[in-house]
Structure 1
Amino acid sequence: MKNSKLLVVIAFFSIYVIWGSTYLLNKIAVAEIAPLFLASQRFIFAGLLIMLIAKVMGFSLKITKRQALNSAIAGFLFLVYGNGVFVWALKYVDSGFAALLASTQPLFVLFLLRLIDGKKMQRKSIIGVCLGLFGMYLLVSQKGITTSEGSVLGIFMILTCVLSWSYGSVFVSKADLPKNFFVTTGYQMLIAGVILAASSLLFKESWISPLDLSFKVQLSMILLVFFGGIVAFTAFNYLLKVVSPEKVATSAYVNPVVALVLGWYVLDENLTTQSIIASGILLTGVYFITSRKRVNDTISRKN
């Protein structure tokens, strides 16, 4: 009993702190590595390791043509566009600010479910959406942010990434995929990694050897692969089996706080009073959405 409680605590720490720190790690890495190349290497290495672990644990790696196609679609929505373009946008937007924008994902999921499935919004959801939209307006309307070079484009692209990830969540909830979550994740990462590598070559990005990177970027890459890609995702799926989806979904409003603090402390990113107020309103809105009676368990998928 004590061991299971300890595992739950460790798992929550993983999805709160590790996933929250990936914004900072990507921001550090993208300073020296081309964004699409960075994302491709991260997912190829993580995908290979996950498949190796799955094989050692005796999981079947068989996949049908339909499952392969769905894995490719999910990999594109989540990792190629949802993460790859997001990392590119970090060249123009602070990591903490980007994390706050990403926390609007539950809002996008609600709108998509309304459009696609015609699901009615509960009262708490409506309050949450209103608060979220107001918080987002306060966040992106700051002159100091929107006047910096490339920031408007970066903000717009991040919001399209959130939309891509949100639609991917809705898609995956209905798609035919391998039953084992570990195998599913491995295929998605490998397919996405190959697409990202091809895209990197297409856009003529510079490829650099890991040996030529600074120590801090090498460390960031290792942490992104092992902890951000494998440990945290495994913890996420473990929690979905042992606690309620509502509790797991709290990562949607804890990650941005972690990212905001780390960005301010480590990278000396600007933390304005308006950003603090906006983040409080936005995250309160996300709380209202994720604490409603029935929470779609797909809204918590992360980068």
Structure 2
Amino acid sequence: MVSIPLLDSAERSQKIRTILAFFAIYILWGTTFLAIRVAVEELPPLFAAGARFFTAGIVLYAFMRFKGETAPTAKQWRSLGIMALLMFVAEYGPLFWAEKYVPSGVVSVLAATLPIITLILEMLILRQQRMRPMLATATILGFVGVAVLLIPGGKQHLALVPCLAILAGATTWSLGSVLTRSMNLPASRPLTAGAAMMLGGAMLLALSAGFGEMHPFPHITLRAAGALLYLIVFGSLLAFTAFVWLLARMPATRVASHAYVNPIVAVALGYFMAGEVITARILAGTALVLISVFLILRRS
């Protein structure tokens, strides 16, 4: 009789947690682009982004402090402020605004250029990676895909300025993610995430007030409240916490594979649930960007 080894309870629990965490960053993050579109249809974009991250940040930060994590020092708060400005304000402010004009599926594809932009920053500016032929080819392929998406053609064409705003936001996120490696940040990643989201959300709400989005105070319908609640719970608290949890347990390149899964989920949801138009040009540009991201992450 052949003996089949079985996982003990601890190993089984760890395996289930890992599967659930990947489900969160693959599927839940992919669905947030449609939720953002629903939110900005009824709420001012900066207000919606600020409400999402400030609420999620407060909850996560308070939870980690309740668990006994030490509060950040003054220098760490300064680093967290820079991180929040680059990775939440400059990234998600333009992205929420752009979703008023660009289909959510296309927004997810443009946001998926994060690994491409990060690679360029590491190679050309920070000199942290060498320019290898395969990586150079993959980078060019990604930019060709973006160009295919943005070049006007046929009856369906994308608003250029919002698309450029998304790419600019992706650049600031990439810069922030690279700079955080040398920043003085708290040891606890969940505490860091909560504090950065809290600061970023506060800055976005301040900008919202400065641009007059709160005069009068936005009327939050049940539909908008549902979209915001989904973004706070599933997009920020669950998916982002799962992302941080996975980063502590496996290579970053494996965790970053969500970059070429999220757009597939977002494009499919936009088509089937929101009636977003998918043309051959959009499919071609999407395919080129996702192949580029796949090659870059695989080589990394």
TM surpasses 0.5: yes
Displacement of 1:222 in angstroms is 0.6
The equivalent residue for 1:11 is 21
Q: Residues 14-36 of structure 1, C-alpha deviation per residue, up to 9 Å, x if partnerless?
A: 00111111111111000011011
Q: Deviations over 1:241-269 (max 9, x none)?
A: 22222211110111111111111111111
2:266 aligned counterpart, secondary structure: helix
Whole-Å separation in 1 of the counterparts to 2:179 and 2:242 = 22
- Give the C-alpha shift of residue 110 in structure 1: 1.0
Equivalent residue, structure 1, for 2:151: 141
Could you say which residue in structure 2 is the equivalent of 1:106? Answer: 115
Question: 1:209 and 1:218, CA in 2 relative to 1: closer, same or farther beyond 3 A?
Answer: farther
Map 1:99-178 to 2 at 5 A: 99-118=108-127, 119-144=129-154, 147=157, 151-178=159-186
Q: Deviation string for 1:69-99 (max 9, x for gaps)?
A: 1101110111111011210111111110011
Deviation at 1:56, TM superposition (A): 2.5
AA of the residue aligned to 1:216? R
Query: Alpha carbons of 1:147 and 1:283: their partners in 2 closer, same or farther (altered >3 Å)?
Result: closer
Report deviation, 1:144: 4.9
Q: 5+ unaligned residues in a row in structure 1: which ranges?
A: 296-303
1:24-103 equivalent positions in 2, closer than 5 A: 24-61=34-71, 63-103=72-112
Distance in 2 between the 1:2 and 1:208 partners?
Answer: 53
Distance 2:147 2:155 in 1: 12
268-277 or 137-146, larger mean C-alpha shift: 137-146
Per-residue CA shift, 1:26-57, capped at 9, x if unaligned? 11000011011111111111111001211232
In 2, the alpha carbon distance for the partners of 1:206 and 1:180 equals 34
> Bigger shift: 194-203 or 25-34?
194-203
Instruction: Look up the SS of the partner of 1:184 in the other structure.
Output: helix
On the 8 A contact 2:80/2:185 being kept in 1, the answer is yes
Question: Aligned partner of 1:78: which letter?
Answer: M
Q: Does 1:191 align with 2:199?
A: yes
Q: Please report the RMSD computed on the Cα atoms of aligned residues, expressed in angstroms.
A: 1.7
> 1:130, 1:281 → 2: CA distance?
10
Percent identity over paired residues: 33
Partner SS, residue 205 of structure 1: coil
Number of residue pairs matched? 289
Q: Secondary structure of the residue that 1:15 maps to in structure 2?
A: helix
Structure having the higher Rg: 2
Aligned letter for 1:108? I
* 1:142 to partner: Cα distance: 3.9
TM-score by length of structure 2 reads 0.91
Match of 1:179 among 177, 182, 187: 187
Q: Check if 1:245 corresponds to 2:255.
A: no
Residue 180 of structure 1 aligns with an amino acid whose one-letter code is S
Q: CA shift at 1:116, angstroms?
A: 2.9
- Tell me: CA distance 1:68–1:128, structure 2 relative to 1, closer, same or farther (3 Å): same
Q: Is the 8 A contact 1:110 1:121 kept in 2?
A: no
The Cα of 1:276 is off from its aligned counterpart by 1.2
Distance 1:48 1:55, change over 3 A: same
Residue pair 1:127, 1:288 contacting (<8 A) in 2 also: no
